[in-house]
């Protein structure tokens, strides 16, 4: 609870505003957009992992739901792209709710198993149902339109995604320091204590899980609309692990850590693009090393080291 | 005020073959300090856990204001004004001391997630009020020095009082203290004794489990003695002290 | 009809044996440390890949097989010392992530060293199919089943009759109590990783002549073995074997009778069903929390 909770946000907003002036070409704008998209997903995931202390190993599945909703619903059923985004989010949320209700009554690692299973099932479905999804090769995504105005290309999407990111950060900061946020953190700190002060633990875990699933789905739709194409890789196990890595390395429970983690680990595959096997090794090494030496993640560890508040 | 605040009737719980609590009955009137004592393993904490919803009894009932509450979960009981502290501290070490206290007021606040995310002004204002209130509670329990401390930097004795502050933030009618003096040195014990007196004076009904006999005899209006999960005796401090069964249980049959 | 059913059954218990060995590996490690080792699948992959590498290098089948079991065991030991021991007592999330990281490192290294190709081993005793009531049984399947059965018996003997085995069991029931009676629980953990890796590697070797192997074969095998362990009841050795076999059979039956394109999805639908209806599995116990 610092005196200037929005200081970091202002800085990020400033950076986002100035970035397009500095970036040399559209490759970098594209990279920035991908970083921002990942940052929003990671923020949602961090609420689940870092604050509520639960783990999801299948979050890419929810991204896939949103992405493929934006691809298939307009293409095969003529839905308006915006409606498809909403439908994807609702489907992801509903799936999360159905899954979570029985699982959250059990111990911690059961959710890991269940989300793992769900993510893999979604990936297999997407690969198999070629008529709907284009199968392993993927399919094209009709762009977002408002009347006759089509939103495509990196310029408009940059501003949309940047705004989404700023809003998400703002909302997350507000959330952490609110009765809801405190209940969530208390839940992570001591479930028994939180129950005893009146927190309906099951309902909170459920809410956070559903929220993070819907965030992921919406950003999946955004990715699909921006790129104009979806492939099953968007919803595979490795992608789920990448996201968890971003949470972990940036800092579990840290808002700015989420952004940092997303930025670093979106750039990393680009740097390692020519060294395929090495990308896997480096990711794995990062996961291991950061959990062994810096279990709180970069931002919290650095913050503690330099004595700043968050 | 005729009806007792809390009534326990024939309460029993069994863990496998172990009858931890057997046919215990007693009632607690509003506004008093009620102690539960007994040798180790007598079932005191189990009794607490039964009443505060952590365990579900295998038989018997618990009535709060005449309404049955046995088997209801702790968060439901919190709504009815039941608060408790724990023998093995349950503090959220990932939060600051003040925030731990603020969590206690959970039910009294607007917990709406959307209003929170959008920084609804009314919500924010209430939060600031709560922060002040939490600091005031910390002062009440003697923790003003820790106003900006994080929970994981506090001593054991301080954390025990923090739990009490958190429980008080619930503005409870019924406060269960599970061994509030356990692990405290004599000076700290006297301070906790005074604190409990202060709390009781505000009108909260206090129920405590405690081993420190001096504290129990000083504070309590009525005492329940348990032994091997059964009720051994019940009455005022003077009555219990004179009860031959109690003396035998504590000091051996030939005392 | 019968022939078809038997066919599915045979292929089911064959691959199920690999899942059973993997499940045993998960259970061993879970019992000694409550860690779910997501790298278990990579030990399976290592067994197969190393066996291929050594036979191709001209080492002869027996020596290659021995090395292909011993080396993963050593990798398991290294992993325990480097990645698990330093973080004893960490949150479950942390440990899960570390083992996932380890699996990525192992897989990546194999990908760099041996490439992305698919490899096979010659069947141990030829490829002449055996006819059983109209269904064909490959000799390699008999190897798989036979060796697995022997291994399971040896493990049973180890845990029931030897001091070391009983020490491991004691650690799984109550770590502190085990330490108090003088059991070296760190040593138990160390050993359980080695055993677990060896079991996985063995499973990988046995199955390679039938299902082939590649750098990423471990993911699915490991995860399905994990489903087997959960189905049987995480922590139960008997459950692991039964669970692994059951997963293999259900997968084969599902692929054969319902849909072959969803073959890989079956075990995961299964795990969701288990978690919904009977999370403690077939043989696992229920756990209560003491406040």
Q: Is the pLDDT of residue C290 over 50?
A: no
Q: Is the pLDDT of residue B1 over 50?
A: no
H or E stretch covering A213: helix A201-227
Residue matched to tokens 């997630």: B113
C-beta atoms of B94 and A189 within 8 A:
yes
pLDDT digits (tens, 9 = 90+) for B171-226: 999 999 999 888 888 888 888 899 999 999 998 999 999 888 888 888 899 999 98
pLDDT digits (tens, 9 = 90+) for C255-287: 888 888 888 888 888 888 888 888 777 877 654
Q: Contacts for B110-116 with beta carbons within 8 Å, 24 or more apart?
A: B110/A179, B111/A179, B111/A180, B111/A183, B112/A180, B113/A175, B113/A180, B113/A207, B113/A211, B116/A174, B116/A175, B116/A178, B116/A179, B116/A180, B116/A181
Cβ under 8 Å to B: C residues 272-291: 291
pLDDT at position A3:
58
Percent of chain C with pLDDT over 70: 98
What is the distance, to the nearest Å, from the Cα of residue C15 to the centroid of all Cα atoms in its chain?
Answer: 11
Decide if B6 contacts B28 (C-beta within 8 A): yes
Nearest chain A Cα distance for residue B99, angstroms: 7
Split at pLDDT 50, 70, 90, the class of C109 is very high
* Helix, coil or strand: residue A23: coil
Phi then psi for residue A290, to 5 deg, are -70, -35
Nearest chain B Cα distance for residue C80, angstroms: 29
Q: Where are the domains of chain A?
A: 25-236
Decide if A90 contacts A73 (C-beta within 8 A): no
Q: How many CB pairs under 8 A join A and B?
A: 105
Q: Are strands B33-37 and B205-209 parallel, antiparallel or unpaired?
A: parallel
pLDDT digits (tens, 9 = 90+) for C37-64: 889 999 999 999 999 988 888 888 888 8
Decide if C206 contacts C45 (C-beta within 8 A): no
Which residues from C are below 8 Å from B47, CB to CB? Answer: none
Compute the distance between CA of residue A57 and CA of residue A60 in angstroms, rounded to an integer. 8
pLDDT at position A225:
92
Which residues from B are below 8 Å from C291, CB to CB? Answer: 49, 54, 86, 88, 90
Q: Where are the domains of chain C?
A: 20-121+138-277
pLDDT digits (tens, 9 = 90+) for A24-62: 888 888 999 999 999 999 999 998 888 777 888 899 999
C-beta atoms of B111 and A195 within 8 A:
no
* B111 Cβ under 8 Å from any chain A Cβ: yes
Decide if C72 contacts C39 (C-beta within 8 A): no
Least confident stretch, A153-167, A255-269, C44-58, C81-95:
C81-95
Give the neighbours of chain B: at least 3 Cβ pairs within 8 Å. Answer: A, C
Percent of chain C with pLDDT over 90: 19
In chain A, count H helices and then E strands: 14, 4
pLDDT at position A2:
53
Compute the distance between CA of residue C243 and CA of residue C225 in angstroms, rounded to an integer. 8
End-to-end CA distance of chain C: 56
Can you tell me the mean pLDDT for C93-104? 86
* B88 Cβ under 8 Å from any chain C Cβ: yes
- Tell me the pTM: 0.85
Nearest-by-CA chain A residue for C110: A277
pLDDT digits (tens, 9 = 90+) for B104-122: 988 888 777 787 888 888 8
Maximum separation of any 2 CA atoms in chain A, in Å: 56
Give the neighbours of chain A: at least 3 Cβ pairs within 8 Å. Answer: B, C
Can you tell me the mean pLDDT for C152-160? 85
pLDDT digits (tens, 9 = 90+) for A99-110: 888 887 776 677
What are the C-alpha distances in Å from C163 to residues A135, C169, C192? 54, 10, 15
pLDDT at position C285:
62
Q: Is the pLDDT of residue B130 over 60?
A: yes
C-beta atoms of B127 and A196 within 8 A:
no
ipTM of this predicted structure = 0.84
Give the neighbours of chain C: at least 3 Cβ pairs within 8 Å. Answer: A, B
What per-residue string of b and e applies to C139-170 under the rule 16 or more CB within 10 Å gives b?
bbbebbbebbeebbeebeeebeeeeeeebbbb
Compute the distance between CA of residue A231 and CA of residue A141 in angstroms, rounded to an integer. 10
Mark residue B200 as left, alpha or beta (left: phi above 0; alpha: psi -120 to 50; beta: remaining).
alpha
Nearest-by-CA chain A residue for B168: A197
Decide if A20 contacts A31 (C-beta within 8 A): no
Candidates A177, A183, A192; nearest CB to B103: A183
């Amino acid at each position: 609870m610092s005196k200037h909770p929005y200081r970091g946000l202002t800085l990020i907003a400033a950076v986002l505003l100035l970035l397009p002036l500095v970036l040399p070409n559209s490759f970098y704008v594209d990279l920035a957009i991908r970083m921002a998209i990942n940052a929003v997903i990671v923020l949602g995931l961090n609420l689940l992992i870092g604050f509520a202390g639960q783990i999801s190993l299948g979050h890419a599945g929810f991204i896939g739901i949103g992405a493929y909703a934006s691809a298939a619903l307009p293409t095969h059923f003529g839905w308006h792209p915006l409606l498809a985004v909403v439908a994807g989010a609702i489907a992801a949320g509903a799936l999360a709710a159905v899954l979570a209700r029985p699982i959250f009554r059990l111990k911690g690692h059961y959710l890991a198993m269940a989300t793992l299973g769900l993510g893999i099932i979604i990936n297999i479905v997407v690969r198999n149902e070629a008529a709907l999804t284009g199968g392993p090769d993927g399919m094209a995504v009709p762009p977002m339109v408002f009347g006759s105005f089509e939103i495509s290309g990196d310029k408009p999407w940059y501003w949309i995604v940047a705004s989404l990111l700023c809003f998400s950060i703002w909302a997350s900061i507000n959330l952490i320091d609110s009765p809801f946020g405190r209940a969530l953190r208390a839940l992570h700190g001591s479930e028994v204590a939180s129950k005893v002060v009146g927190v309906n633990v099951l309902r909170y875990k459920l809410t956070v899980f559903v929220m993070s699933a819907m965030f992921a789905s919406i950003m999946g739709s955004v990715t699909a609309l921006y790129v104009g194409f979806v492939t099953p890789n968007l919803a595979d196990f490795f992608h789920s692990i990448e996201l968890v890595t971003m949470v972990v390395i940036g800092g579990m429970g840290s808002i700015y850590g989420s952004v940092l983690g997303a930025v670093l680990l979106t750039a990393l595959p680009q740097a390692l693009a020519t060294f395929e096997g090495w990308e896997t090794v480096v990711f794995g090494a990062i996961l291991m090393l950061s959990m062994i030496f810096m279990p709180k993640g970069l931002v919290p560890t650095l913050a503690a080291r330099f004595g700043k508040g968050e | 005020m005729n009806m007792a605040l809390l009534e326990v009737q024939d309460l029993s719980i069994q863990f496998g073959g172990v009858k931890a609590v057997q046919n215990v009955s007693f009632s607690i009137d509003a506004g008093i300090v009620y102690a539960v004592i007994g040798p180790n393993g007598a079932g005191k904490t189990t009794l607490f856990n039964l009443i505060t919803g952590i365990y579900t009894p295998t038989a018997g009932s618990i009535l709060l204001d005449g309404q049955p509450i046995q088997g209801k979960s702790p968060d439901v009981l919190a709504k009815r004004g039941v608060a408790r502290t724990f023998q093995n501290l349950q503090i959220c070490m990932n939060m600051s001391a003040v925030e731990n206290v603020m969590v206690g007021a959970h039910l009294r606040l607007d917990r709406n997630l959307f209003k929170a995310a959008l920084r609804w002004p009314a919500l924010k204002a209430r939060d600031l009020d709560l922060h002040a209130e939490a600091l005031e509670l910390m002062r009440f329990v003697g923790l003003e020095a820790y106003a900006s401390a994080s929970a994981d930097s506090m001593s054991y004795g301080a954390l025990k009082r923090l739990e009490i502050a958190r429980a008080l933030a619930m503005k409870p009618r019924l406060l269960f203290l599970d061994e509030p003096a356990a692990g405290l040195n004599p000076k700290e014990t006297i301070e906790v004794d005074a604190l409990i007196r202060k709390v009781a004076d505000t009108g909260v009904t206090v129920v405590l489990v405690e081993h420190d006999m001096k504290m129990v005899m000083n504070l309590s209006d009525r005492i329940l003695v348990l032994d091997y999960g059964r009720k051994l005796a019940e009455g005022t401090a003077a009555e219990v002290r004179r009860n031959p069964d109690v003396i035998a249980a504590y000091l051996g049959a030939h005392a | 009809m019968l022939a078809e059913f038997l066919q599915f059954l045979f292929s089911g218990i064959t691959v199920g044996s690999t899942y059973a060995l993997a499940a045993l590996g998960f259970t061993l490690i879970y019992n000694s440390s409550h860690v779910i080792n997501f790298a278990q699948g990579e030990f399976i992959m290592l067994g197969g890949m190393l066996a291929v590498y050594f036979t191709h290098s001209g080492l002869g089948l027996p020596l290659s097989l021995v090395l292909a079991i011993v080396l993963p065991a050593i990798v398991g030991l290294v992993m325990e010392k480097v990645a698990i021991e330093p973080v004893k007592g960490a949150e479950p999330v942390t440990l899960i992530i570390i083992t996932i990281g380890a699996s990525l490192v192992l897989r990546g290294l194999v990908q760099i060293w041996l490439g992305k190709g698919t490899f096979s081993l010659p069947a141990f005793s030829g490829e002449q199919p055996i006819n059983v009531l109209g269904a064909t049984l490959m000799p390699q399947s008999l190897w798989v089943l036979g060796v697995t059965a022997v291994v399971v018996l040896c493990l049973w003997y180890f845990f029931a009759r030897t001091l070391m085995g009983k020490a491991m069991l004691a650690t799984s029931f109550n770590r502190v109590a085990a330490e108090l009676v003088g059991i070296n629980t760190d040593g138990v953990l160390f050993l359980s990783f080695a055993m677990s890796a060896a079991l996985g590697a063995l499973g990988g070797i046995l199955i390679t002549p039938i299902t082939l192997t590649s750098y990423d074969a471990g993911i699915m095998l490991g995860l399905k073995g994990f489903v087997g362990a959960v189905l049987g009841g995480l922590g139960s050795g008997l459950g692991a074997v039964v669970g692994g076999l059951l997963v293999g059979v259900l997968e084969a039956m599902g692929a054969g009778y319902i849909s072959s394109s969803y073959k890989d999805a079956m075990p995961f639908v299964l795990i969701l069903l288990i978690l919904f209806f009977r999370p403690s599995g077939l043989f696992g116990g229920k756990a209560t929390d003491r406040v």
